[in-house]
Amino acid sequence: MSFDIVESIQKLKKEKDVAILAHYYEDGAIQDLADYVGDSFFLAKIGQQISNKNILLAGVVFMAESVKILNPEKTVLVPDLGAGCSLVHGSPYDKYLQWRKDHADALCMTYINSSAEVKSISDVIITSSNAAQILEKIPKDRRILFGPDQHLGKWLSKKYDRPMIFWPGACEVHILFNAKRLFNLTLEHPDAVVIAHPECEDAVLQYAHLVGSTSRLLEEVEKNPAKKFIVATESGIFHQMQKLRPDVTLIQAPVMDENCACNDCPYMKMNTLQKIENAMKTFTPEITMDETLRLKARTSLDRMMDITSGKPVTWPESFKE
């Protein structure tokens, strides 16, 4: 890592009043220079509350869009506008809209890993750290549509015994973890605690002692006295885990192909220190959004924020475009 570039970014942060928010899947060097590091819910919440005039979000674009929707006064920068997400790519607006229309009586829970357009036709947004709390508030007599991550939805549905209709999307990184190879690894390391993100397939999750969001997995490594963990999520989080617990051994859960380091998220890893420095110098790329779309997308994000802060919410009787 070049010391010069880190110093330059630190200087730009002060000069231009920019707060850097980073997700746990970013490279360690990016996490270390960020003002706030967290999971997708934490980043949306902090992005809404921040006092700096400008925000640079080192994560993926839907995270930066969520901040812009919630806090439109801020200039929201990203290192690379190409930092997408397979869940966003797999849930195009027109198809999601048709799905909603086909089940107009149902309430639609949409994962934050979705476009602003898809959020604008959803009833409530969830993340893996608050999904259970939000599900609890959905009346038992309402049918539920869950998208775009079918694996997170299936885990939730099974755990809380709530039937759902699933959008057939998946995270291209988490579905690569391989259940059979994970099982063999647990036999080799019977002393290891297996922790997994709920975007993994059910066959993988059944071997996990704990399933949770990135922040929940981190908390487990911090608090569980075990000395060894098998981790089924993106490798970027190892940085914070190892910082909190330098005494533990972390083993990445295996994918099918032994020679492939394919559980790195290619979108998160598009961000580099160079691109961050460039974005802060030029104030591009910036997240911009049509105001009508922003306001429509805000309703479902506001419901998430209201429920998680203990406020009452009301639900629409049926879907209207």
Smallest distance from the beta carbon of 95 to ligand SF4, in angstroms? 18
Residue 40, binding choice from ligand SF4, ligand 13P, none, Cβ under 5 to 8 Å by partner class: ligand 13P
Residue indicated by tokens 């690894």: 185
Among 30, 64, 76, 268, binds ligand SF4 (CB under 6 A): 268
Question: Choosing among ligand SF4, ligand 13P, none, which partner's interface includes residue 39 (Cβ < 5 to 8 Å by kind)?
Answer: ligand 13P
Beta strands of the chain (E only): which ranges?
A: 18-23, 36-38, 54-58, 75-77, 107-111, 124-126, 144-147, 165-166, 193-196, 210-211, 228-232, 249-252
Residues 232/197, Cβ–Cβ less than 8 Å: yes
Which region, judged by CB under 6 A, interacts with ligand SF4, from 31-39, 81-89, 210-218, 271-279? 81-89
Nearer of residues 54 and 215 to ligand 13P, judged by Cβ: 215
> 56-75 mask for ligand SF4 (x: CB under 6 A)?
----x---------------
Nearer to ligand SF4, 70 or 87 (CB): 87
Q: Which two tokens stand for residue 218?
A: 């981190």
Nearer to ligand 13P, 198 or 285 (CB): 198
Which among ligand 13P, ligand SF4, none contacts residue 86 (Cβ within 5 to 8 A by kind)?
A: ligand SF4
124 lines the binding site for ligand SF4 (CB under 6 A): no
CA distances to 103, 111, 146, 288, 300 from 143, rounded to whole Å, are 9, 17, 10, 34, 17
User: Which does residue 237 touch among ligand 13P, ligand SF4, none (CB within 5 to 8 A, set by kind)?
Assistant: none
Q: Six-digit token pair at 292?
A: 């009508």
Amino acid at 23: H
d(CA 15, CA 124): 38
- Report in angstroms how near the CB of residue 67 gets to ligand 13P at its nearest: 14
Q: Is 126 in the site for ligand SF4 (CB under 6 A)?
A: no
Neighbour-count burial for 9-47, b at 16+ CB within 10 Å, e otherwise: beebbeebebbbbbbbbbbebbbebbebbbbbbbbbbbb
Distance from CA of residue 216 to its chain's centroid? Answer: 12
Please report how close the Cβ of residue 129 comes to ligand 13P at its closest, in angstroms.
6
* 271 touches ligand SF4 by CB under 6 A: no
Instruction: Enumerate binding residues for ligand 13P (CB under 6 A).
Output: 39-41, 113, 127-129, 171, 197, 199, 213-214
Torsion sign over Cα 211, 216, 217, 222: negative
